[in-house]
Amino acid sequence: MPDPPIPSDVKDKARNLELTPTVEFEENLVTVTLIVFSKWGGFTRHSFVIQKEFPHKILKYTSKNLVPYDCRIRF
């Protein structure tokens, strides 16, 4: 069964996203930000603040849905 087509408004919003992952270095922290696509959520930005020194612990995690989408297929 083929996936349903993605609506044009979702495509238009997605085309305007900057998809390049970023890495920002501070004195003791590193922040990694990336965008992920899921058929059951859409485009979501995930940001991780990571301790620079070993052991590299994730100190903070945030996610924000930028372009919602749900393919309506359930398993």
Q: Are 42 and 63 in contact (CB under 8 A)?
A: no
Residue 20 domain flag = yes
Q: Write the pLDDT tens digit of every residue in 50-71.
A: 999 999 999 999 999 999 998 8
Number of domains composing the chain: 1
What DSSP string describes the chain? -PPPPPPHHHHHHHHTS----EEEE-SSEEEEEEEEEETTTEEEEEEEEEESSSS--EEEEEEEEEEE-------
pLDDT of residue 1: 61
Q: Whole-prediction pTM value?
A: 0.86
Residue 30 domain flag = yes
Domain limits for position 21: 8-68
Residue 23 domain flag = yes
Q: Write the pLDDT tens digit of every residue in 2-15.
A: 677 889 999 999 99
pLDDT of residue 14: 94
Residue 75 domain flag = no
